[in-house]
Structures are given as C-alpha cells and as structure tokens.
Amino acid sequence: MDIRFQTGGPSAWKAEAVLTFVFEGEGPDEACHVLEQAAPWLGIAPAWRDFKGKKRELATLYGPPAMDIPRVQAVGLGRREALTAVDLRYAVGGAVRLCREQGAADVGIDLASLGRVAPVLDRDLAALAREVVLAALLGLYRYDRWLSDRAELPADPARLFLLVDDEFAPDAVRDAVRLGEAEAAGLRLARDLANGPANVVTPTAFAEAARAVAERGGMKFRALGPAELEAERMGAFLAVARGARQEPRLVVLEYIPEGTESEQPVVLVGKGVTFDSGGISIKPSAGMAEMKGDMSGAAAVLGVFEALAQLAPHRRPSRPVLGLMPCTENMPGGNATRPGDIVIARSGASIEITNTDAEGRLILADALDYGQDGREPALLVDIATLTGACVVALGKDAAGLFCDDDALAAALFETGKRLGERSWRLPIWDTSKEAMKSNVADMLNSGPREGGALHAAWFLKQFVKPGTPWAHLDIAATDNTESPINAKGASGFGVRTLLEMVW
C-alpha cells in the first residue's frame, strides 16, 4: 500500500473513503468539524441517525458521488474515559477491512479527528499516527497464498492518505508513520513465515528468507549447516535435528550501523522449530497441524530485522544487533534422539533427554551460548513458543516474561503493554534445580508438569553467563490469535517489543 500525506487543509483532500473517529454520544458537529469543510454533506447524512459511536461500531456515510470525498466511515470509539490504544487499533483495523469490502481504491484518515483522541490516550499525534498506520496495514493482512480463487477476493486499497489540516505534516508525524510502516512490514513477514506450511517453510527456506532481508538492509548473513554446527559443538541443537530429513540451519543476521562497531550488541534469539511432531515423545494428532508455527520466535526475530531494513537509512540502532534463529524440524525416525539419551551442549553441559518434545530449550541453549561467545551483550533476549504450561498459567492473552533484572523486566513489560504485546512476569526459582536434577548428567531437559514454564526458563538460564542482561519470552499463548488487526492465524507477537528494545 502506498502511504501519502495530503496537506493544505480540507480543500485539498481527496479520497474514496475517509475514516473519522467518533466518541460515544457525539454528533458530526463535535466529531467532524474539520472534515465537514471537505465533505459539506457530512452533517446531514442519514446514517448519523442510528450511529451511536459505540466501541467498534461502524457507519458508512454516503455523499454525492462526484464529491472529492464521497464516502466517510464513522468509526466508533466508545466512551471517552474507557478508550484504550487496543480499542483504537481494533477500530481502525475493522474500518479498513470494511473499506476493502466496499471496493475503495484509496482510504483517508482524518488526522484532525485523530488529534482529538491524543489527549484521551495521553499520547501525541505522532504516536497515534504510527498506531493507525500499523493497524490499517495489519487489518488488511490475510494469508491467501494457496487459495486458487484469491484473484476474486476484494482487492486491498492501493493508497492510504493521511489528511493534514495544515500546509505541512510535522516531521515527527512523518517519522512515526515511517516507523509504523516498518513495524507492519516486520509483522507481516513474521506472519507469512509462521502461517506457511512446514513443507514450504523448511529450515533452508527460512534461511533464504533471512538472506533476502539481509540483502535489503545491508546486513551480514550466515546460515550454519550440519557440518558447521558440528564444528561449533552444538550437540543439543543437533540432537533435535537428528530425526529429520530436512537439514537444520542456524541463521545468523548481524546489523552493524556505521559508527557502532565498538559497541556491545543487542542479541535476539528466536526458536525456529519449523515443524514439531514431538519426536519420539510424539504429540497427540489433535492440533498437530498447528505445530508448523513452532518457529514463531524465529519469525519474530526475522521480523525485527525486516523492520530495521525498512527503516534504513532513516533510523538506525545505536548499537549492533545480532539475530540468531536456530531452525530445524523435530521428527521421529530411526536416527532420532531417544528418551534416555545424553547430549552435550555447546557450553559443555551434559543433558539427559527425558522428553524429546521439550526440544525448543535445547536449540535455544546452544544459540544462547553462541550469542555470548566473544561478546558481552548489552541485552540478550530469547523468544519462543516454549511451553504449554505457560498457556495454562496465563491463558491466551499474555506472554510469559522471565527475567531476574527488575529494570529490564519492567522495561519489557511496559513496552509490550504500550505496543499491544502484553506479557506477565513469572519467576525463575532455584527450586527448579532439584526438579531438573539428573542422576547421570548435569541436568534433565524436562521436569515435572507442575511449574513447567518455570523449569524451562531455569534451564535456559543455565546457558546465560552471570551478569548478562537477559530475558526470556514464552509466547506459546500469543503466537496464534484472531482480532480486527489479526486474521486468524499467526500474530507476529514480539516484533514490536523487540524492535523497541534495540534503539
């Protein structure tokens, strides 16, 4: 979608459909006094009679077809005092979907109307412009690659106009819109990868997607195959890959903006199990098709790099960013790792395998160790669809946040809350050491069901050097959802939060 500003005030505005924001109980004189100058018919449109402005309520207001603005979508925000940023995103996502269904070739957003919302949410216009652009692009997202009749689906609007009641759009607003576009590009890529079938999104295919991102963004790219993983002593990672015919890849992206070469990096690690059958400890068949999305953590990390590529050269991180995405299938087979096997991680730790379906922590363990080798990360974050126990603990509305650093935990929590990626902090207790104790190795790879998410986080902590600022995000509950800004399927959860942490 082509996003442009229309400046010069209402007399210069043109669009097939325009979104205007209305609080519950408001009429056109209160909500649309600027837009009415461009669409003088607006105040007498019959649809106002039944429109209440309730949350997510939409009304299509029609004017004379020959007008520069022949159609307005009144977007209900509900009660002013109850409005949240999530409400605004959902309202915009639903409205642009309706515009698509109605065949609008271009859609405008009335920034004067949006400006009335800013003080209610305690945000400036630039911040809200970022959110509505993001919401519009995500609302239009759909994964239709494999539909034979997709040419018959309603076409997305070709243009999004931001209507400015002035001669110029402020630089801060333009920068914020660029950021919203980049975030949406990262999220859409992450969704495409996680929605993709496992026979297409293989570890090697994921690596090629990462190569394309690196080429767009001027980044360093490597993809370590089996021989290189052996040379790196990644015994835990390779133990997961043994049963699969698809070769594993450790995908490595490094973005080093000019002038940051001497800075310590931010290291992002994402779990990339492109299909998880459970291995020898095989999963039940019900729901197994969803295990194509067990690489959502890796997809989120790659989404961050896509956003960075989109933003360059306008905006760059203040330090290098290293992305590590260990990608493999977890399959049964004659060569697969068995319960009772002992494997040696890259760190030298021995691990007794008691459950081959606790595989994500194994590939993350080696990637975490690799990310700290010869480096002292300014920040180390891993993100993974790691445990069903986290879903049981928190439900489907929040990721599990594990972090021993109070300041870092607070930063991740508040950032996610502001950007629509909610998390909730859970503890890492030393009692997990006893639960994960092995009689024949340094530790087990899986402990008791009770507190399973906590035990998994404790396991990962064993591969983080003391003093390293580290956090673990368990996104098993939030990787797949449905909302007005998320067509049913992969969510791309984590892209926005992680991107915010690299600045």
CATH code where residue 276 lies: 3.40.630.10
Q: Residues 489, 387: one domain? A: yes
Q: Residues 124, 209: one domain? A: no
CA 392 to chain centre: 22
Residue 27 pLDDT:
85
Buried b (16+ CB within 10 A) or exposed e, 432-451: beebbeeeebbbbbbbeeeb
Kindly state the percentage of the chain with pLDDT values over 90. 95
Q: Categorize the per-residue pLDDT at 346 as very low, low, confident or very high, splitting at 50, 70 and 90.
A: very high
Kindly state the percentage of the chain with pLDDT values over 70. 100
Annotated binding site for Mn(2+): 271, 276, 294, 357, 359
Task: Tell me whether residue 179 is in a domain.
Answer: no
Task: Tell me whether residue 185 is in a domain.
Answer: no
Q: Which residue has the tokens 């009772």?
A: 340
Statement: residue 100 has pLDDT above 90 = yes
CA 270, CA 406: separation in Å to the nearest integer?
22
Full-model pTM:
0.96
Task: Tell me whether residue 183 is in a domain.
Answer: no
Buried b (16+ CB within 10 A) or exposed e, 465-474: eeebbbbbbb
Domain boundary among 154, 169, 184: 169
What CATH number does residue 161 fall under? Answer: 3.40.220.10
Mean pLDDT of 123-145: 97
Catalytic residue among 283, 315, 338, 375: 283
DSSP assignment letter at 124: -
Domain boundary among 135, 169, 203: 169
Domain boundary among 169, 202, 230: 169
CA 357, CA 351: separation in Å to the nearest integer?
14
Integer-rounded Cα Rg, in Å, for the chain is 24
CB atoms under 10 Å from CB of 261, counted, come to 9
Residue 349 pLDDT:
99
Report yes or no: 336 and 243 within 8 Å, Cβ to Cβ: yes
Task: Tell me whether residue 371 is in a domain.
Answer: yes
Mean pLDDT of 169-173: 90
Q: Categorize the per-residue pLDDT at 404 as very low, low, confident or very high, splitting at 50, 70 and 90.
A: very high
Q: Residues 219, 149: one domain? A: no
Residue 443 pLDDT:
99
Q: Residues 117, 207: one domain? A: no
Task: Tell me whether residue 30 is in a domain.
Answer: yes
Enumerate the H helices of 171-234 as residue ranges: 171-195, 203-217, 226-231
CB atoms under 10 Å from CB of 208, counted, come to 12
Q: Residues 100, 196: one domain? A: no
Longest CA span, the chain? 80
Statement: residue 168 has pLDDT above 80 = no
Instruction: Give pLDDT tens digits for 62-89.
Output: 999 999 999 999 999 999 999 999 999 9
Instruction: Give pLDDT tens digits for 354-402.
Output: 999 999 999 999 999 999 999 999 999 999 999 999 999 999 999 999 9
Residue 31 pLDDT:
82
Statement: residue 169 has pLDDT above 90 = no
Statement: residue 229 has pLDDT above 80 = yes
321-330/249-255 β-pairing: antiparallel
Task: Provide the domain count of the chain.
Answer: 2
CA 36, CA 23: separation in Å to the nearest integer?
17
Residue 165 pLDDT:
85
Q: Residues 136, 232: one domain? A: no
CA 146, CA 142: separation in Å to the nearest integer?
11
Mean pLDDT of 318-324: 98
Annotated binding site: 271, 276, 294, 357, 359
Task: Tell me whether residue 237 is in a domain.
Answer: yes
Instruction: Give pLDDT tens digits for 186-205.
Output: 999 999 999 999 999 999 99
Mean residue pLDDT of the chain comes to 97
CA dihedral sign of residues 8, 10, 11, 14: positive
Statement: residue 302 has pLDDT above 90 = yes
Statement: residue 447 has pLDDT above 80 = yes
**Known catalytic membership, residue 361:** yes
Q: Residues 23, 75: one domain? A: yes
Residue 224 pLDDT:
99
Q: Residues 152, 246: one domain? A: no
Task: Tell me whether residue 143 is in a domain.
Answer: yes
CA 101, CA 155: separation in Å to the nearest integer?
8
User: Angle at the Cα of 279 (from 277 to 281), degrees rounded to 5?
Assistant: 105
Q: Residues 153, 79: one domain? A: yes
Task: Tell me whether residue 238 is in a domain.
Answer: yes
CA 164, CA 127: separation in Å to the nearest integer?
15
Q: Residues 377, 414: one domain? A: yes
Our CA dihedral for 276, 282, 284, 289, rounded to 10 degrees, sits at 20
Mean pLDDT of 209-221: 98
CA 253, CA 268: separation in Å to the nearest integer?
10
Q: Residues 224, 344: one domain? A: yes
Q: Residues 245, 142: one domain? A: no
- Tell me the C-alpha to C-alpha distance, in Å, between residue 111 and each of 51, 172, 415: 21, 14, 25
Mean pLDDT of 127-138: 98
Which domain does 16 fall in, by range? Answer: 2-169
Report yes or no: 183 and 307 within 8 Å, Cβ to Cβ: yes
